[in-house]
Chains A and B, each alone.
Chain A
Amino acid sequence: MKYEMVIGLETHIELSTNSKLFCDCKAKFGEEPNTNVCPVCLGHPGVLPNLNRSAVEYTIQAGLSIGCAIAPLSKMDRKHYFYPDLPKAWQTSQLYAPLCIGGTVELASGRVIRMNHIHLEEDAGKLIHERGRIYIDYNRGGVPLMECVSEPDLRSADEAVEYLEILQGVMRTIGVSDCRMQEGSMRCDVNISLRPEGAEKLGIRAEIKNLNSFTAVRAAIAYEYERQTEILDNGGTVVQETRGFDGKTTASLRDKENSDDYRYFPEPDIITIAVSDADVERLQSQLPELPRVREARYVAALGLSEKDAAQLSKYRRVAEFFENAGASKLAANLILTQMFSRISTEVERELWNVPFSALDLKALIFLIDSGKLARNAAKQVLTAMLDSGEAAETIASREGLLSTGEAIDLAAAVADAIAANPGAAADYKAGKTKAAQAIIGAVMKATKGKANPEELRKTAENALSQ
């Protein structure tokens, strides 16, 4: 039978606050193990949490950016389980009264995915298996984390990944998280069930825990779809359970019968979190333009293609760079082709460590626009800029690429080139139109790229056909 998949995602996003959720320790990734720890985040006897208000505000901004309602009063709860990465034996989270309620994420197809809520919680430490032993690094313990819980509105792996990409783009743009899946600052649990196409009633779901890349999300969904289809086709029932994914297959971690009883109860050490209307207004007003809005503006105002607009809007630093460089079609072109081919990975683009400023790119564009630098020569200049970080004008004038103002005698240059390459003219006349390239190349070389490529092509073709 053909089944429709029904998917809901729980996305964990680490907040990029300076300090942890309950103490002053740095909330930083990648430092020496157990260097950013103190009695509070190690859960020593007698310590108490002091809630980091910026983590609360980051979560509110995340909620506002996807249209959540903000709870004027919310509470933290304790979720209990024994595991060495959890030094208090409970995770401080929110069950009964989360900070953000509702909200939506709209896919490119126009389909609207509803958010159930976003809650704030703390991350756990990390187990490191090495030399046959288990070590615990508590640097990550107590780092603020928000969990975005969607409704089961997604219908395919593509939709799931698109939803995650949108969430990632929004959270990066508003600056609440770097959302790096490879570093674990964005992770995802997939809830998936199948139902016969056209059916209303939801099937029994399995939850696949802790997926840390879009590829894994896609692969786990594909595998689960196959697995559940086979069970249903054979007249079986899917077991409601938690499953792990090893890169290829999913396997049961624990079923519902054996699921942990988290013994949630309200955290008595943290007072009710109050958020006033004024707080919400202030946080809303601080939100930058969101990727979707930005993208639409680039298409409407600059005439960029949707694809190009989306690429530029995806990374906050890229978008800012683009805007500071003048937000023109030419700027878009230079960034998306030459710069993106050099700065090629997801992480690099997000970090956008470029050796020159947006104003330097703007200066390069000015040279092109004012006719002082030919488009072709500009390529060479930009490459050099990416290498050395020097200003466009410095490079162009050193390389003698700047137009001196005198017109190039294209006809004469072409004639010289033909004279020097008699074979080329013969080939061209014999129908090998590619031979024109040799002449064009020779002229470009002779004029140090200053010739206008379009004019040069016409002049060369004319001369060769005579």
Chain B
Amino acid sequence: MIDKIQAALTEKRISAKELAQSYLTAIDERKELNCYITLTPEAALEAADAVDRKLASGEALAALEGVPFALKDNISTTGLLTTCASNMLEGYTPAYDAFVWERLKAQNAVLLGKANMDEFAMGSTCETSRIGAARNPHNTDCVSGGSSGGSASAVAANLAAYSLGSDTGGSVRQPASFCGLTGLKPTYGAVSRYGLIAYASSLDQIGVIAQNSADCEKVFGVIAGYDKRDMTSKQAKFTALTERPLKIGVASEFLDGASPEVTKAIESALEVYRKMGCEIVPVEFPLLKYALPVYYILACAEASSNLGRYDGLRYGPGAEHYDDLDDGISKIRSERFGTEVQRRILLGTYVLSSGYFDAYYKKAQNLKAAITAQLAGEILGKCDMLLTPTVPTTALKIGAGLSPVETYLTDICTVTVNITGLPALSVPCGLSGGLPIGMQLIGSPWSDLQLLNAAKSFERATDCAYLTKLAGGVTL
């Protein structure tokens, strides 16, 4: 998609401004999808103008120059509303740019708007957003997934060429899976988190959602890199691509809760790889059952800390009537945070409280180390990558009314990757009842390019036959 757009621009079949304008018009026509929280036409057209000037002078375009895209609403953009889909940040415009936005802006990437998401990235359906769920373009009665639901919905409906999301427990991969897209969660530290509004710092990673692996790789190439403002970011040292046939691990534990259609799609995908000459290696992952509780303890603990700053005193709306300082702070937090955010803050506060710290937080840290040793050490020592479902099911119906714990269970296949800091991606591998099924590839640290390569081989081998091309939006 990105190549097609840039070819059209270079060959002057369309100007960058016309292109941006047609995306903005298309977005306006598909408001029911609810995939954008804020549109940024001025920023888009300004960048497009710069691209057109460059094209007029005959200069070559940078990797993402002129390509219209969306940013998740938790990525800081100077002067442009950044609300994390929360009433708490209603009207908040940041005073600084996130690292990824700096990188993209420097390329005249055309920002169409800020994509819908679960409030503060907490959720798996995008339904905790203050403006409601972004709908799934494959079936608008279904969710687009979460938390980067808007980012996925927009790309699937051709309302953005690609988008950036954030992935703390599967928030890029799961919506990519639900919407029939490729979603990359890079190795922890590959992309600077500077300017990504934190949910759980040790798990958060900015990722890419795109139509295919090649687009994903292109965007990843632009946003990856060391940034001194993020001490956990690193200069990438990607593993060299292997020429020999891949060894692909399969752990039955990942398939335990999967629906029959998902299981079938995963089996067919393994068959595709086998036919390519890959070796399928059965592996065991007994510690997987602890991944979800570990994830929710660590994520909520960090969230309760990261979200403490929202006290209504410095930015965003403040409490209107209050007796004293404590009253003002608790009022604004009770009024403006949604139910799911409050639930996680309370959970996190509880596990960090004196007397419970050892029983929960410390134990979770110990288990995290054990899980990492088992997955990154033992299992990935036996194979190049692991193939699993991304989600045990296809997209849920909007308002399905799952209990919080039932919703948390849908993250079972994705959270392990965040706990261990490993790279993973989701690629479409099947359809069921018109809804896409995604498979997940998990690799060792810095095997991001290897994973993308394996996904590309898969796309070539199957000719993407399992993908439904959606009408509407901008298709060149």
Contacts and interface: CB of A to CB of B under 8 A. Distances in A.
Contact of B232 (A39, A264, A269): A269
Interface string B184-220: 0000000001111110111000000000000000000
Given A89-B311, A268-B302, A271-B231, A47 B329 contact: no
Contacts of B285: none
Interface in A259-312: 261, 263-265, 268-271
A104 B195 CA distance: 43
Nearest to A23: B229
A216 interface: no
Given A39-B96, A90-B305, A46 B197 contact: yes
B232 A271 contact: yes
A46 B76 contact: yes
A51 interface: yes
Given A45-B82, A84-B313, A268-B302, A51 B231 contact: yes
A40 B74 CA distance: 17
Contact of B352 (A265, A269, A270): A265
A49 B309 contact: no
Contacts of A47: 96, 194-195
A263 B353 contact: yes
Contacts of A49: 231
> Interface centre among B194, B198, B231, by most A CB within 10 Å?
B231
A89 B330 CA distance: 13
A42 interface: yes
A43 B193 CA distance: 15
A48 B194 CA distance: 6
B453 to A, nearest CB: 30
Contacts of B314: 42-44, 87
> Interface centre among B76, B95, B229, B353, by most A CB within 10 Å?
B229
Interface in A86-101: 87-90
A333 interface: no
A82 interface: yes
Contact of A89 (B195, B229, B309, B352): B309
Interface string B219-251: 000000000111110000000000000000000
Given A82-B329, A261-B354, A48 B308 contact: no
Contact of B308 (A42, A44, A46, A82): A82
Nearest to B195: A46
> Interface centre among A39, A47, A89, A261, by most B CB within 10 Å?
A47
Contacts of A44: 76, 94-96, 314-315
B325 interface: yes
Contacts of B228: 50
Q: Would you call the interface of chain A mostly helix, strand, loop, or mixed?
A: loop
A261 B309 contact: no
Given A87-B309, A89-B308, A89-B311, A268 B94 contact: no
Interface string B381-413: 000000000000000000000000000000000
> Interface centre among B196, B198, B349, B353, by most A CB within 10 Å?
B198
A271 B228 CA distance: 12
Contacts of B89: 45
A50 B305 contact: no
Nearest to A261: B354
B232 A90 contact: no
B357 A82 contact: no
B98 interface: yes
A80 interface: yes
Given A48-B230, A263-B349, A269-B201, A39 B193 contact: no
Given A84-B313, A265-B352, A48 B305 contact: no
Contact of A263 (B98, B232, B326, B352): B352
Given A50-B229, A84-B313, A268 B202 contact: yes
A271 B98 CA distance: 20
Given A44-B95, A46-B197, A265-B352, A82 B311 contact: yes
Contacts of A78: 305
> Interface centre among A39, A42, A83, A271, by most B CB within 10 Å?
A39
B92 interface: yes
B231 A46 contact: no
Given A46-B76, A269-B201, A88 B95 contact: no
A49 B75 CA distance: 17
Contacts of B95: 39, 44
B309 A46 contact: no
B361 to A, nearest CB: 6
Contacts of A39: 94-96
A70 to B, nearest CB: 20
Nearest to B200: A268
B309 A48 contact: no
Nearest to B231: A271
Contacts of A263: 304-305, 349, 352-354, 357
Interface in A131-153: 136
Contacts of B229: 40, 48, 50
A261 B361 contact: no
Interface string A60-80: 000000000000000000101
A82 B328 CA distance: 11
Interface string B246-276: 0000000000000000000000000000000
Contacts of A270: 231
A88 B308 contact: yes
B361 A48 contact: no
Interface in A312-341: none
A260 B63 CA distance: 52
CB-based closest 9 A-B pairs: A89-B308, A268-B202, A263-B352, A268-B201, A46-B197, A45-B197, A46-B76, A46-B195, A39-B96
Interface of B: 74-76, 82, 84, 89, 92, 94-96, 98, 193-198, 200-202, 228-232, 301-302, 304-305, 308-309, 311, 313-315, 325-326, 329, 349, 352-354, 357, 361
21 contacts: A39-B94, A44-B314, A45-B76, A45-B89, A45-B94, A46-B75, A46-B76, A46-B195, A48-B193, A84-B311, A84-B313, A84-B325, A87-B314, A89-B308, A90-B308, A263-B354, A265-B302, A265-B357, A268-B302, A269-B201, A269-B230
Interface of A: 39-40, 42-51, 78, 80, 82-84, 87-90, 136, 261, 263-265, 268-271
